[in-house]
Structure 1
Amino acid sequence: MNYTPILETDRLIIRPMTLDDVEGHFSMDSQPEVHTYLRAEPLQKIEESKKMIESIQIQYKNFGVGRVAVIEKESGEFIGWTGFKFIEEKEAINNQFGFLDFGYRYKKEAWGKGYATEAAKACMDYYWKEMTHFKLNALTHIENKASRNVLEKIGFEVTETFIFDLWEIDCFWYELKSGIKF
């Protein structure tokens, strides 16, 4: 089953990533500010973005789901990514696997404009219509107030804190509030 639709909001197009997105992705993921709460290093070479997009395309093929590009309609510009990632046992987060992780990342020029919430609401609407057979969780660095606000606006609630082993950072673990739909 394919769960990588093309979604549209008033200001955004949300669609599967292609290799045409390499430059936009690199522009975003090479910004140090984007990595403030990730404890990861900004990308240094455009080839790293190509590998990341190819990895996402493998997720589309293997699981029918993966992060998707967020395109600003007015400019046609790649401003970030959002959506669902299937977490396999080998990638367990908070000792859990076999679920969808909801996430997003945007270039700093897109921050503070409501794009993350707008795209997240579109994705969650799609989730409630087509994907509820998947368990859905999210996580964020405990100090990332902006990301926390987005998750809480779209129906997630903190259920615990944990250390995200991959980056050794303190995170909040989110679950969907029961009965929340858009």
Structure 2
Amino acid sequence: MRKHSTADFERFWSMITDPISKQFTGGVTTLTYEQRFKIFCEDIDMNFLGDNMEFAVVEKSSMLYIGYCGFRECEDLDGIELFYGYCRDSWGNGFGYEAAASTVAYYFNNTEHNSLVAACNMENLASVNILKRLGFNFVKPVIINGMSVDKYELCKS
């Protein structure tokens, strides 16, 4: 994992405009390429501030951008949220778990917080499995942007 760069945007754009990749995360972006690129560039400088960190996830041998993973304040979940998303061609290789585990370890080792929350569509079995494998516990169903998701929480041990 590393900081994002503008070179990551093409694969990021293909992921956020892929209806299959985004079926469990609120759907494809409604922004134009240019609008989203501007936000992406602005976010590069802001993604490593306090309780908001987002890492670019890259395949180790090729350094190909395959997605993102991080944590941020989330009012809808009333806490700091673990979040991630991956390009469809990287699914099923264990990258999601590996990046999430590294992010969780970084979070608990480098912040003063004692808990981390996550939201997951119950039909997204891969994400449910990642969260459970990391030790997250189901809390309750919640509605975020009109979508019903399950809230999970992990407490520092």
Cα distance in structure 1, aligned partners of 2:24 and 2:97:
18
1:56-135 aligned at under 5 Å gives the runs 56-57=43-44, 59-60=46-47, 63=50, 65-87=52-74, 92-94=75-77, 96=78, 99-133=79-113, 135=115
Tell me how many residue pairs correspond in the alignment.
157
1:175 aligns with 2:153: yes
Cα distance, 1:41–1:27 mapped onto 2, change above 3 Å = closer
Cα distance in structure 1, aligned partners of 2:69 and 2:83:
6
Cα distance in structure 2, aligned partners of 1:128 and 1:62:
15
CA RMSD of aligned residues (A): 2.2
Cα distance in structure 1, aligned partners of 2:29 and 2:151:
24
**Deviation by residue 1:17-66 (Cα, 9 ceiling, x = unmatched):** 12222112112212111111123224674324423423533543653632
Q: TM-score, normalized by length of structure 2? A: 0.86
1:28 aligns with 2:11: no
Cα distance in structure 1, aligned partners of 2:34 and 2:50:
24
Query: What is the percentage of aligned positions where both structures have the same residue?
Result: 27
Cα distance, 1:20–1:153 mapped onto 2, change above 3 Å = same
Aligned residue for 2:21, secondary structure, equals: helix
Alignment correspondent of 2:24: 37
Alignment correspondent of 2:127: 147
Structure 1 segments unaligned to the other structure (5+ residues): 1-13
Cα distance, 1:54–1:81 mapped onto 2, change above 3 Å = same
Cα distance in structure 2, aligned partners of 1:113 and 1:102:
20
Cα distance, 1:51–1:159 mapped onto 2, change above 3 Å = same
Is the 1:32–1:41 contact (alpha carbons within 8 Å) kept by the matching residues of 2? yes
**Greater alpha carbon shift after TM alignment, 50-59 vs 25-34:** 50-59
Cα distance, 1:77–1:53 mapped onto 2, change above 3 Å = same
